[in-house]
Amino acid sequence: MSKDKEEIICEEHGESTMAYVCTHIYSAKDDEVVGFYQSYIDLLNDEVYEYNAWCKDCDERLSQAGNEWNDLLEKQADIKTVCLSCFENFKDKQLSLNPAEAEVCFVPENKDITKFYDRADAHINLANKKTKKEKPEDISESFLFAASRFAAFEATLTAKDIEKNKTDVIDYYALRFREMFVDNLTDYIENKKEYLKESK
């Protein structure tokens, strides 16, 4: 799936997939919130993903223009080509500073997307079944606890020198959860009517 992606040589990360960010994300200072609006990726159908993101101001201008990029918008965005690791770092930074100013697409590390969704659905179906007898908030809390329990098992199994790297390991999992949650929450907010009707 990733065969046809264009490659870039990054000074910091070496050979990597090409990604694109607006100049405002690119030049934001360490603690500067500019937002992170990633273009939608259809994981099941897009053969080659394009990693594109722009800031809140660029996103507002884009919505005002009817969500169509034009020459002026492109000039204002002044898109920079970066490597995928740099792209992830920009995203992590903005997600940590202010996740409410971010719209991201979670892309799993394992590229077998069908299996990824099948596993997730199996867990979601189990949780959904329980809503017949128990409160969503109680189910969700147990679900979250179970996810953290399994993640702790997996981290202990795979992380190098877990005692020494404990802080990094915690940050890594917390950030991934944040990314998944922001992705799903944005989706729910946008499709609230349809999704909540289905669940009744």
CB nearer Zn ion, residue 22 or residue 95 = 22
55 binds Zn ion (CB under 5 A): yes
CB nearer Zn ion, residue 12 or residue 198 = 12
DSSP letter assigned to residue 31: T
Q: Minimal distance in Å, beta carbon 177 to Zn ion?
A: 24
Strand partners, 53: 21, 38
Backbone angles phi, psi at 59, to 5 degrees: -65, -40
Residue closest to 57 by CA, chosen among 35, 79, 75: 35
Q: Minimal distance in Å, beta carbon 57 to Zn ion?
A: 5
Q: Minimal distance in Å, beta carbon 93 to Zn ion?
A: 13
How far apart (Å, rounded) are the C-alpha atoms in residues 120 and 172? 20
| Environment class of 114 (CB within 10 Å of its CB; exposed 0-12, middle 13-18, buried 19+) | exposed
Please give the size of the binding site for Zn ion, defined by CB under 5 A: 11
Six-digit token string for 99: 């996740």
91 binds Zn ion (CB under 5 A): no
DSSP letter assigned to residue 17: E
How far apart (Å, rounded) are the C-alpha atoms in residues 139 and 17? 39
Among 19, 21, 22, 169, binds Zn ion (CB under 5 A): 22
CB nearer Zn ion, residue 6 or residue 42 = 6
CB nearer Zn ion, residue 12 or residue 137 = 12
Among 17, 26, 33, 85, binds Zn ion (CB under 5 A): 85
Among 13, 61, 93, 176, binds Zn ion (CB under 5 A): 13
Binding site for Zn ion (CB under 5 A): 10, 12-13, 22, 24, 54-55, 58, 83, 85-86
